[in-house]
Structure 1
Amino acid sequence: MTRTVLVTGGSSGIGRAIAERFAADQAEVFITGRTPDTVERTAKELGVHGVACDAGDPGQVTALTARLDGLDVLVNAAGGLSQATSDDGSNLDALLAQWHAHLEQNLLTAVLTTASVQDRLTSGSSVISIGSIGAERRGGSYGAAKAALGAWNASLSAELAPKGVTCNVISAGFIDGTNFFHGQLSNERRRTLVEETHNKRSGTVDDIAQTAHFLASPGARHITGQTLHVNGGAFTTR
């Protein structure tokens, strides 16, 4: 049976790689993004459905949900590092804007989308949200938003797991092939991030895509309420 998959933030980076992985399984994939031209171009390249949608806008999310009859996999990949001013506290208005931006982009987009499509989920469905190693250390307002994503996911799992829906977070470490740093990552900083890993390599978007694909597979039906750290050992749990 063909699965229906929705990937928010699916027009680039991790979201695009996840959409491409599910499309390879002949799933009916919907991707969203805030820039119509980019969404349309990516959808055409991947052979999927593209919908221009700001996942932080309730009206746009509601309109998106109306296009879905049922949903097997939801991937909340919308988010990222805001280009707003620094959150060092020197300007309280700028500080507030930074926190609002990161909470909206990295937490509320997932909350709103999931709440909107919740009635489309059935037993066997999966909700997967993309977190970050920034939730564990030196993350500032961005890391705080990703940490909140994990806390929300645990609550969501408690609500949906009895209905047969799994809910998990993939906490990504440093991943090459994205525009996360907006072109501001120095060679020295990149070397440091790679050196922090145990396997001495950066992550790839395919590392995250393959993990997402597994979490939506029959082999992962007893995994729910979890944050899975995919970072090459840069942050470890026990």
Structure 2
Amino acid sequence: MNRTVLITGGASGIGRAVAQRFAADQAEVFITGRTPDTVEQTAKELGVHGVVCDATDPGQVEALAARLDELDVLVNAAGGLPQTTSGEESALEALLAQWHASLAQNLLTAVLTTTSVQDKLTSGSSVISIGSIGAERRGGSYGAAKAALGAWNASLSAELAPQGITCNVISAGYIAGTNFFHGQLSDERHRALVEETHNKRPGTVGDIAETALFLASPGARHLTGQTIHVNGGAFTTR
């Protein structure tokens, strides 16, 4: 389909897989990331447009939006666990820095980017944000930020749905093959996360990419304001 798709955090992990899936669907895809070399290399490999942009920086986000005309799909995939601090701060200062980083990376990136391109969305457009099972349990500052993402999405949907724009969150469970844990995931923790699922396997970036493609499809036009849990049954709703 000849659509224009913007994916923040599209140079690696889930964002990269989503970009690859939409590109395979013949969309014109723009990916963003903070590291120039990574963005350039990924864009070249996938045959998409790469834009260096820190989605926590309003000026950079405004410059990104200025490059786009009409936008059919926005995928807010930027985010992740905050890096540890240098250890020079007090305990409270370190805690505050961690919470600020979690909120900036996992909530404000989506808020700023979506707001900057909102006037470029049209009837039939989709806004998709990548959440986490961490919003439901044991998530700390990261989980709290992802929970806030879901609350913000519900409000955004109420605002944009009358214009024919859908807004949904994909809440990802444990996804193997990413750098989310920065190489710190033990074999024991991996087994425990898999054991929590009903289907006894980790999620893949492809699982999330296919869900994103569906949420942006004609068959999902009455699906908005929702958090879609993609976790193999590790967390269930009723």
1:52 aligns with: 52
Q: Give the partner amino acid of 1:193.
A: L
- For residues 85 and 204 of structure 1, what CA distance do their matches in structure 2 show? 30
Stretch deviating more after TM superposition (24-33 or 77-86): 77-86
Structure 2 unaligned spans of 5+ = none
Question: Where do residues 4-43 of structure 1 align in structure 2 (5 Å cutoff)?
Answer: 4-43=4-43
Q: What do residues 153-193 of structure 1 show as CA deviations (whole Å, max 9, x unaligned)?
A: 00000000000000000000000111000000000000000
- For residues 193 and 229 of structure 1, what CA distance do their matches in structure 2 show? 15
1:187 paired with 2:183, answer: no
1:221 paired with 2:224, answer: no
Shift of 1:216: 0.1
1:167 paired with 2:167, answer: yes
Shift of 1:92: 0.3
- For residues 105 and 98 of structure 2, what CA distance do their matches in structure 1 show? 11
1:211 aligns with: 211
- For residues 85 and 181 of structure 1, what CA distance do their matches in structure 2 show? 16
> Contact 1:84 / 1:97 at 8 angstroms: preserved in 2?
no
Question: Where do residues 133-152 of structure 1 align in structure 2 (5 Å cutoff)?
Answer: 133-152=133-152
Shift of 1:84: 2.2
Aligned-partner SS, 2:203: coil
Aligned-partner SS, 1:223: coil
Q: Give the partner amino acid of 1:33.
A: G
Aligned-partner SS, 2:5: strand
Q: Give the partner amino acid of 1:45.
A: E
- For residues 149 and 85 of structure 2, what CA distance do their matches in structure 1 show? 22
- For residues 236 and 114 of structure 1, what CA distance do their matches in structure 2 show? 28
Q: What do residues 101-136 of structure 1 show as CA deviations (whole Å, max 9, x unaligned)?
A: 000000000000000000000000000000000000
1:75 paired with 2:75, answer: yes
Q: Give the partner amino acid of 2:59.
A: G
Shift of 1:17: 0.2
Q: How many residues align?
A: 235
Q: Give the partner amino acid of 2:218.
A: P
Output the aligned Cα RMSD: 1.0
1:123 aligns with: 123
> Contact 1:85 / 1:95 at 8 angstroms: preserved in 2?
no
> Contact 1:70 / 1:121 at 8 angstroms: preserved in 2?
yes
- For residues 97 and 212 of structure 1, what CA distance do their matches in structure 2 show? 31
- For residues 73 and 229 of structure 2, what CA distance do their matches in structure 1 show? 20
Shift of 1:227: 0.1
1:92 aligns with: 92
Aligned-partner SS, 1:99: helix
> Contact 1:168 / 1:224 at 8 angstroms: preserved in 2?
yes
> Contact 1:10 / 1:78 at 8 angstroms: preserved in 2?
yes
Moved over 4 A (4+): none
Identity %: 86
Q: Give the partner amino acid of 1:107.
A: L
Q: Normalized against structure 1, the TM-score is what?
A: 0.97
Q: What do residues 171-230 of structure 1 show as CA deviations (whole Å, max 9, x unaligned)?
A: 000001110000000000000000000000000000000000000000000000000000
Q: Give the partner amino acid of 1:144.
A: A
Structure 1 unaligned spans of 5+ = none
- For residues 231 and 170 of structure 1, what CA distance do their matches in structure 2 show? 10
